[in-house]
Amino acid sequence: MTMPSSLCPYRMQVHHIIQETPDVWTLALINHDVYPYQPGQFALVSVNNSEAVRAYTLSSSPGGSRFITLTVRRLEDGLGSRWLTQQVKPGDYLWLSAAQGDFSCMRHVGDRYLFLAAGCGITPVVSMCRWLAANRPQVDVQVIYCVRSPRDIIAATAWTALGKWLRLTLFAEQGATGDIRPGRLEIDALRALAPDIAERTVMACGPAPWMAGLEADARALGAGEFLQEHFHTPLAHATSGRLKITHPRPLQTIDAPAGLTLLAALEARGIAVNAACRAGVCGCCKTRIAQGQYRTTSAMTLSAQEITEGYVLACSCYPQSDIVIA
């Protein structure tokens, strides 16, 4: 079977599919090769084995399962989500990209975490919680998870299994029963539930408006490190926008979906980059951008002068427009 997109070189077979909620499914994939990834990351998926790609969270945890799992919410206008949840069946093959994203507890190491999630934003959180429970059981983990109703809780069996290890608080806007709190997560509830928020690494994932308000509340309560994964942001970029990257040696212009790191975009087009850790630590992939907009998640080995001059770490740089590399 021919690779449908150079962005997605990993071929995996669907082993089984689990329906999590009325509109969310988890696809368990058999991977016959080594697939390195970190808890909380996402991957691009070739839609219908074509050049079109969509991004979905890797909801499994490294070393914790023999399957790679993708958890997908069906959107009525979603080309990828409708295909994955309505047409794909056990035995079919999917093509995935290398794992992407900086939203991982392996990249943001702490001893006390507060995970905040709404809706499908829980998928990277459950991956990280499973990994932390298995590999760093001594850490203090608190999770606040907001859903529309109790039937919309994703990975319910995982939360049952993790319940004795972490502290979980559920909010439901409708139909709250038992230990589930009614309504939304407001600042007073956040203050009461996380009085030590200033001492925790806060990681949040959910709809952009929800996270914007939540960050303001968390900052008002003294939160220091507040990390966000705008769920569906990589998906929206990768599907509706493509960027041009001009590389000088040899001179060429390539295109790639927005949402990839500069390193991933270059390597997907066969351009070799000197990269070792791929986590924004070693500095091997230092690159200077002459034109264009971008955001970075690590500048650990760069001096203030280098940052001013446009140097970035390619593994931690996300182009936001067409760019030109010096």
Instruction: Work out how many domains the chain is built from and give that number.
Output: 3
CA-angle at 151, arms to 162 and 191, nearest 5°: 60
Question: Residue ranges of the alpha helices (H) in the chain?
Answer: 79-82, 122-135, 156-162, 187-193, 208-220, 233-240, 262-268, 304-308
Where is the domain boundary, 34, 68, 96? Answer: 96
CB 154 within 8 A of CB 125: no
Beta bridge partners of 251: 248
Could you tell me if 74 and 125 lie in one domain?
no
Could you tell me if 318 and 288 lie in one domain?
yes
The three-state secondary structure class of 295 is strand
Task: Report the CATH number that the domain containing residue 26 is assigned in CATH.
Answer: 2.40.30.10
Work out whether strand 294-296 and strand 242-248 pair parallel, antiparallel, or are unpaired: unpaired
The verdict on pTM exceeding 0.85 is: no
CB 184 within 8 A of CB 173: yes
Among candidates 66, 81, 79, which has minimal Cα distance to 26? 81
> Which amino acid appears at position 175 of this protein?
G
Could you tell me if 56 and 122 lie in one domain?
no
Could you tell me if 208 and 126 lie in one domain?
yes
Instruction: Give the range of the structural domain holding residue 250, as residue numbers without chain letter.
Output: 241-325
pLDDT tens, the chain, 326 aa long: 677 877 788 999 999 999 999 999 999 999 988 899 999 999 889 999 887 888 899 999 998 888 999 999 998 888 889 999 999 999 999 999 888 888 899 989 999 999 999 999 999 999 999 999 999 999 999 999 999 999 999 999 999 999 889 999 999 999 999 999 999 999 999 999 999 999 999 999 998 889 889 999 999 999 988 998 854 434 334 444 578 899 887 788 888 777 778 888 887 777 878 887 777 778 889 999 999 999 888 888 899 899 999 999 998 888 888 999 98
Task: Report the CATH number that the domain containing residue 185 is assigned in CATH.
Answer: 3.40.50.80
Please report the pLDDT score of residue 241 as a whole number.
58
Helices and strands in the chain: count of H runs, count of E runs: 8, 19
Where is the domain boundary, 183, 202, 230? Answer: 230
Where is the domain boundary, 53, 68, 96? Answer: 96
